[in-house]
Amino acid sequence: MTDRNLVVRTAQGAVRGSLHDDHAVFLGVPYAAPPVGAARFAAPRPHDPWEGVLNATEGGPTAPQAPRRLGALEMTAYFGSGWVRGPDYLTVNVWTPRTTRPGAPVMVFVHGGGFVAGSNRASLYDGSRFARDGVVLVTVNYRLGIPGFLDLPGAPRNRGLLDVLQALRWVRENVAAFGGDPGNVTLFGQSAGATIAGAVLADPAARGLLSRVIVQSGNGRGAFTPEQAARVTARAAAELGAAPHAEAFARITDDRLVEIMPGLSGIDLRTATAGDPLLGLSPFSLVLDRQPADAVAAGQGAHADLLIGTNAEEGHLYLAPFGTLGTSTAADLEATAALFHPDPARYVASFRRGRPGATAGELRSALMAEALFVAGSRDLADAHAAHPGSRTFRYEFAWRSPALGGHLGAAHAVEVPFVFDVTDQPGLRGPDALLGAGTPPAGLAARTHAAWIAFATTGDPGWAPYERGAGPLMRIAEQWETAPARPATPSPSTA
C-alpha cells in the first residue's frame, strides 16, 4: 500500500480504502461468506474470491438486530444506528498507519451489546487514533441474537464466537498486507465482546491466532449452561411456531427472528445448579459445558498475556438511566440477588457489611456489578495468573461520568471512549450522553489509550503484574494509583 494507491490485495481479492492525514481506513471488508438462509445457522466459511477491486470506503451492512435504547441515556455512539440491511455483514473495518513500514502491532476489537445489538459501524469504535499511534486496528461484526447464539439442534453452538475466530484467521492470513504483524495480535472486547474475548482465550482453536487478550468488563463465568440455553430455544420455537431445529429456523426470515426478540425477555434461567449470569438483561450468551475461567484454570490460554478489568460502578448503567438508582428498595435489592443466588437475603447481608451507609440503589448496583462482571473477571484473572510464566494485569476504571445529573458515575461502558481516545466526539458529550457535559480530565484518554497500546505492543501496560488472590491492580481515574484488589464478596455459589 502506498499513498498513491490505496488498494490492498487480500487472499479473497483487492480492496480500496480511503486516505486521511495520518492513517488509512478500509471499511466493510468481508472475512466470511454471507450468512444467508441455512448458512445463518452454520459455521462461518471463508468468503468466495471476487473480481476487480472492492470499494471499502463506506461502512457495510450490520447484523440483524432490533433498535436498542437504555432509558434516558443517549447511547447511539455505542450501539450504532442499528440494522443496516445487506447479506454481506460478516466484515471487518481496518485502520492502518499511513506508512509503508511493515510489522505494526495488531489489535482486534469485539463490540458489546448484550449479544443482541451493536456493530463495528458505531462511532465509538473509530480506530483512527490507534492507527495514528502505530497500531493496525481491526473491528469485527459477528452474528447476533438468534443466528449468533441460540442453541439449536442441528447447528453448531456459539456461532457468533465462531465468527470471531474466523475473523482472527482472516487477520492471520491478511493483516501483513495492511502493514500489521500477524505474530503480534491482541484480541480485545468490551461487555459481551469481552466475554467472547475471554472465551476465545480459553478455546484451543485460538492457538496461533493471538498473543494477548484484553477483557473490558466481561465475565469469565458468563456462559449459559446447555439446560439454560434450552429454555431460550423452547421459548423462541414457541414464539415462531416452529420446530426447535436449525432446519426449521433456516426457513424463517431475519425480520421475523428480530420481531420475536421481545418475547424472549423474562425467561427464568435459574436451575438447580446455576443462576442467571446475565440477571435477565439478555436471553443470549455463550453456551458452554465449562466456563472460560475453569478452562483457563485447567491450562487453556496460558500462552497469551491477559489484561482484564472492570469499572468501579458497573451496575449504575442498568439503574441510573431508568431512574431506579435512587428509588430502589430493599425488596428490589433482594429480588435482584434472587436471580443468581440461592439465599438472596444472606448474599445481600454480605454486601451491606462491606458497604456501610450505602443506599439500596447503590447496593443493588454493586451486587449487579459483582454478578455480571467483577466475580467472573476476578476468577478469570486468578485462573490465568496461577500458571507459571503467564502475565496477568488488572485494572479498575474509576473516573465518574457526570451524566444524568451526576448519577451515571463510573458505569459500564464509560471507559471505552478513553481506550479509543475519542472523548472529543460530539455524540458522547452532553448531560444525557455517556461522558456527560463538560470536559473529561485532560490527559486521561491519552494515558488510557497509551496503556492499551503498550500492552498490545510489549505485553506490559505500565504497572505491576497481578498475583493470584491479591493485588496489585491499577485504579484509573484523574490520578492513577496502584491499589490492592477489592476484597472478594462471597461468590454467588458460596455465600
Task: Give the range of the structural domain holding residue 73, as residue numbers without chain letter.
Answer: 7-483
Position 490 in a domain: no
E strand spans, 20-147 = 23-30, 53-55, 91-97, 104-110, 136-140
Beta carbons of 406 and 421 less than 8 angstroms apart: no
Buried residues in 288-316 as b, exposed as e (16+ CB within 10 A): beebbbbbbbeebbbbbbbbbbbbbbbbb
- One-letter identity of residue 385: A
- Residue 21, classified by CB atoms within 10 Å of its CB into exposed (0-12), middle (13-18) or buried (19+), is exposed
User: From the centroid of its chain, how far is CA 170?
Assistant: 20
Is 217 annotated in the active site?
no
Given the residues 47, 111, 316, 412, the one annotated as active site? 412
Contact 390, 297 (CB under 8 A): no
pLDDT at 470: 74
User: What pLDDT score was predicted for residue 493?
Assistant: 44
Question: Both ends of the chain: CA-CA distance in Å?
Answer: 57
CA dihedral 226, 227, 233, 235 (to 10 degrees): -160
Is residue 2 a part of any domain in this protein? no
What is the number of domains present in the chain? 1
Stated pTM of the model: 0.96
DSSP string computed for 416-462: HHHHTT-TT-GGG-STTBTT-SS-PPTTHHHHHHHHHHHHHHHS--S
Which position among 313, 314, 362, 396 bears the catalytic label? 314
Residue keyed to cell 445487506: 86
For the question of residue 245 being annotated catalytic, the response is: no
User: Residue 477's pLDDT is what?
Assistant: 97
* Cα 381 from Cα 86, distance rounded (Å): 39
CATH code, domain carrying 351: 3.40.50.1820
Residue-level pLDDT, tens digit, the chain, 495 residues: 444 459 999 999 999 999 999 999 999 999 999 999 999 999 999 999 999 999 999 999 999 999 999 999 999 999 999 999 999 999 999 999 987 578 999 999 999 999 999 999 999 999 999 999 999 999 999 999 999 999 999 999 999 999 999 999 999 999 999 999 999 999 999 999 999 999 999 999 999 999 999 999 999 999 999 999 999 999 999 999 999 999 999 999 999 999 999 999 999 999 999 999 999 999 999 999 999 999 999 999 999 999 999 999 999 999 999 999 999 999 999 999 999 888 999 999 988 998 889 999 999 999 999 999 999 999 999 999 999 989 999 999 999 999 999 999 999 999 999 999 999 999 999 999 999 998 999 899 999 999 999 999 999 999 999 988 777 899 999 999 998 876 666 544 434
- Side-chain-side CA neighbours of residue 396 (13 Å): 21
| Any domain includes 85 | yes
| Catalytic, out of 128, 191, 217, 365 | 191
316 is catalytic: no
Question: 44 lies in a domain?
Answer: yes
> Is residue 237 domain-resident?
yes
Residue 388 located in a structural domain: yes
Q: Is residue 493 part of a domain?
A: no
Comparing C-alpha atoms, which of 372, 365, 370 is closest to residue 192? 372
User: Is-contact 146 116, C-beta < 8 A?
Assistant: no
Residue 495 is predicted with a pLDDT of 40
- Domain membership of residue 14 (yes or no) is yes
The amino acid that residue 117 corresponds to is A
